[in-house]
């Protein structure tokens, strides 16, 4: 179905990468459903989308709730009559060694990072099948492919999201629904407040040293990639997991960096 503006749903769009993508989509005239648990950041993002020339709908929801995908997609579809792009961006994250992990945190990672994206796609399918340019963009992480002590729950949820990306890309290709993922490296967003404790500066210094380009990414850099992946330039791309990580997952990169520093 032809529309005069794209209809986009972005989870976790009150802050960070999701908010940046929402602003950029808004600047292109898109209608954006913004989803998260806290209303205030969502309202801030909605105001920025509208100031940039787009339309916004605030949808407070907890993606750990199995009922959330139906509620979220229904609200967007009722408001604008369709859905073209789903950005599965929200994530649960908690660093714990396996000896200290809890079932509650394990289940939360799977519910928010894997189950919710999967069922958002299921709920969105009738609308995506009617869209002129349908796509799903999953936000993974370099942690989905690197073996990082303490990140087994988060990392395996992201690896599962990458598998979903590939398998759904193949399954939904007959309807020209593209499914891709972006795997960011360290990006300067509020997510690090959840695990870095009092030493955020120290955590940033350590993360920069893990990246060949020796810096954190910005939310805007990631947002631009999300919008690009949804756009016509990428219409022959599906099933891809694109690292936007300053080279973090390059084989041998970490030992090369530490070798340089030692020398
Ligand atoms: N920043 C990085 O270094 C980095 C690196 C690799 C991958 N990533 C990925 O990038 C994505 C975006 O993260 P970010 O860095 O932009 O962090 P962020 O600013 O903390 O954004 C995450 C958003 O998800 C929302 N959220 C979390 N749990 C939720 C739930 N149960 N239901 C609904 N919304 C929920 C949060 O809002 P509420 O708290 O209000 O719900 C928050 O706005 C995530 O998938 C993350 O794994 C980030």
State residue 66's pLDDT score: 98
Ligand 1 contacts CB of residue 16 (under 6 A): yes
CA of 89 to the centre of ligand 1 (A): 6
Catalytic residue list: 154
Question: Which of the four pLDDT bands, split at 50, 70 and 90, describes residue 196?
Answer: confident
Ligand 1 contacts CB of residue 216 (under 6 A): no
The helix (H) or strand (E) run that includes residue 180 is strand 178-184
Ligand 1 contacts CB of residue 246 (under 6 A): no
Decide: residue 67, CB within 10 A, 0-12 exposed, 13-18 middle, 19+ buried.
exposed
The pTM for the full model equals: 0.97
DSSP 114: I
DSSP 194: G
State residue 260's pLDDT score: 57
Token reading at 122 = 């299921």
- pLDDT tens digits, one per residue of 35-78: 999 999 999 999 999 999 999 999 999 999 999 999 999 999 99
2 pLDDT more than 70: no
State residue 262's pLDDT score: 45
93 pLDDT more than 70: yes
Ligand 1 contacts CB of residue 63 (under 6 A): yes
Question: In which region does residue 247 sit, left (phi positive, over 0), alpha (psi from -120 to 50) or beta (all else)?
Answer: left
What are the residue ranges of helices labelled H in 7-129? 16-27, 39-51, 68-80, 103-110, 116-128
Chain centroid offset of residue 238 CA: 16
Written out in words, the top-level CATH class of the domain with range 7-262 is alpha beta
Helix (H, G, I), strand (E, B) or coil at 260: helix
Contact 17, 48 (CB under 8 A): no
Contact 6, 25 (CB under 8 A): yes
CA distance 160 to 234: 23
Q: Which of 10, 11, 13, 16 to mutate to test the pocket of ligand 1 (most atoms within 8 A of CB)?
A: 16
Chain centroid offset of residue 65 CA: 18
State residue 259's pLDDT score: 65
Q: Which of 62, 191, 192 to mutate to test the pocket of ligand 1 (most atoms within 8 A of CB)?
A: 191
Decide: residue 199, CB within 10 A, 0-12 exposed, 13-18 middle, 19+ buried.
exposed
What are the residue ranges of helices labelled H in the chain? 16-27, 39-51, 68-80, 103-110, 116-128, 152-172, 200-209, 219-230, 253-262
Could you tell me how many residues make up the chain? 263
CA distance 186 to 80: 35
Q: Which of 9, 10, 17, 142 to mutate to test the pocket of ligand 1 (most atoms within 8 A of CB)?
A: 17
Determine what percent of the chain is predicted with pLDDT higher than 90: 92
263 pLDDT more than 50: no
| 111 CA closest ligand 1 atom index | 31
Question: Which of the four pLDDT bands, split at 50, 70 and 90, describes residue 201?
Answer: very high
| 186 CA closest ligand 1 atom index | 3
CA distance 146 to 9: 29
CA of 254 to the centre of ligand 1 (A): 25
């Amino acid at each position: 179905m032809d529309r005069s503006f794209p209809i986009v749903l972005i989870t976790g769009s009150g802050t960070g990468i999701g908010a940046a993508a929402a602003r950029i989509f808004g600047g292109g005239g898109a209608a954006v459903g913004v989803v998260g648990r806290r209303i205030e950041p969502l309202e801030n993002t909605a105001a920025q989308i509208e100031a940039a020339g787009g339309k916004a709908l605030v949808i407070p929801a907890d993606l750990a709730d199995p009922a959330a995908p139906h509620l979220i997609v229904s609200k967007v579809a009722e408001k604008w009559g369709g859905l073209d792009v789903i950005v599965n961006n929200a994530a649960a994250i908690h660093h714990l060694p396996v000896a200290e992990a809890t079932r509650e945190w394990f289940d939360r990672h799977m519910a928010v990072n894997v189950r919710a994206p999967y069922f958002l796609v299921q709920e969105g399918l009738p609308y995506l099948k009617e869209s002129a340019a349908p796509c799903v963009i999953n936000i993974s992480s370099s942690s989905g492919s690197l073996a990082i002590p303490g990140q087994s729950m988060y990392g395996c949820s992201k690896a599962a999201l990458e598998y979903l990306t590939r398998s759904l890309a193949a399954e939904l290709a007959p309807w020209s629904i593209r499914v891709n993922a972006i795997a960011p490296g360290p990006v300067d967003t509020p997510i690090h407040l959840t695990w870095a404790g009092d030493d955020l500066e120290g955590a940033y210094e350590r993360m920069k040293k893990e990246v060949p380009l020796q810096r954190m990414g910005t939310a805007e850099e990631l947002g631009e990639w999300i919008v690009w992946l949804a756009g016509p330039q990428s219409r022959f791309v599906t099933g891809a997991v694109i690292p936007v990580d300053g080279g973090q997952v390059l084989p041998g990169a970490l030992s090369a960096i530490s070798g340089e520093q030692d020398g």
